[in-house]
Amino acid sequence: MAFAELPLADTLARPVRDLRISVTDRCQFRCTYCMPREMFGRDFVFLPRGQLLTFEELTRLARIFAGLGVRKLRLTGGEPLLRRDLDKLVAMLAAIGGIGDIAMTTNGALLAANAQALKAAGLARVTVSLDSLDDTVFMALNDASFPVAAVLEAIAAAVTAGLAPVKVNMVVKRGCNEDSIMPMAAHFRHSGHVLRFIEYMDVGTTNGWRLDDVVPAAEIVALIGRRWPLEPVAPDYPGEVASRYRYRDGAGEIGLIASVTQPFCRGCTRARLSADGQLFTCLFAGTGRPGVARADRGHLGPPHRPLLRAAHPPHRPRGGGEAEGGDVTHRRLEARRHRLGPIWGADAARRSYQ
């Protein structure tokens, strides 16, 4: 078997099957859990355009990863639709042999105008962020005066374009939007979409994270289950990060991403490529591997297996297979908060809610 045909694995022998591609570090929202305005204000310096990987570089990298076993690609940011002509990149990626799924995560602000072109280019699915159906709560969270109705219109446009079912991500923060859990569940029951609740998580030093602000996934399941009984569903594929539950009355399903209380490190199959070409094999890594993506401005080097295997994740599952407890996770995340700067924090936040 040729070297390029061997399956790619990290230091814990986990296969890399999913590649997250950040096409930009910019976003028009200033979500308080991701890019709070006090950290990412007018004076914040984002990457100049010349430092972003070109569509050709991204496509070549994706082709190399496909040869090493990657089968799914997801376009992220920042807000990926701020990257001009994104449908052209989608078409280039869709032409790569071995790639079976191309998806995108978006805040929805520009989705309605681009959904048809993206679908025609080869995009299969979208995940849209929506943290409340209450305009006051939602606009306080996105800090961009962007209304709920516009996100719902974007979801409808995605359905019309054929980008369905849509996954809807809701980050839940105690004292902020936990009162929106039930209205969100009620709205998306029978919709055909999958509402996913994400535990509010630490992203460095940018969002003032505290464990007390986390609404555990188990609490969310219990809350919804008291009104509409739920039952667990088996994962769709190995390494799926969301725990799935379906309504017993047939109204659809929800997902829970318990990054804090139930870390899913053991089954992780994801690598993440930043907009400037750094490769991350763990969400909580403080630095990526810049030489993996581009040796210099004029030459794109292949991602070498030894470099990937050298990227040790900070959270390792215990020997018996159980995840670390919330108290252990909290202590480790708190330690990292004091070591990592705001740029890492924002990038990690963008990579986390995918």
**pLDDT per position as a tens digit, 161-205:** 999 999 999 999 999 999 999 999 999 999 999 999 999 875 554
pLDDT of residue 240: 83
pLDDT of residue 171: 95
pLDDT by 10s per residue, the chain, length 354: 333 455 677 666 778 889 999 999 999 999 988 888 988 888 888 999 999 999 999 999 999 999 989 999 999 999 999 999 999 999 999 999 999 999 999 999 999 999 999 999 999 999 999 999 999 999 999 999 999 999 999 999 999 999 999 999 999 999 999 999 999 999 999 999 999 999 987 555 444 556 878 999 999 999 999 999 999 999 887 778 899 999 999 999 999 999 888 887 777 888 889 999 988 877 666 666 665 555 444 444 455 555 554 444 444 433 333 333 333 333 333 333 333 333 223 333 333 333
Length of the chain: 354
pLDDT of residue 261: 85
Say how many domains are in the chain.
1
pLDDT of residue 292: 56
pLDDT of residue 144: 95
Q: What residues contact 183, with CB distance under 8 A and at least 6 apart?
A: 132, 133, 134
pLDDT of residue 234: 93
Tokens 């003032």 locate to 208
Residue type, 267: G
Q: What residues contact 339, with CB distance under 8 A and at least 6 apart?
A: 286
Domain assignment of residue 190, given as a range: 3-352
pLDDT of residue 286: 60
Q: What are the structure tokens assigned to 111, written together? A: 């989705």
Q: List the CATH number of the domain containing 96.
A: 3.20.20.70
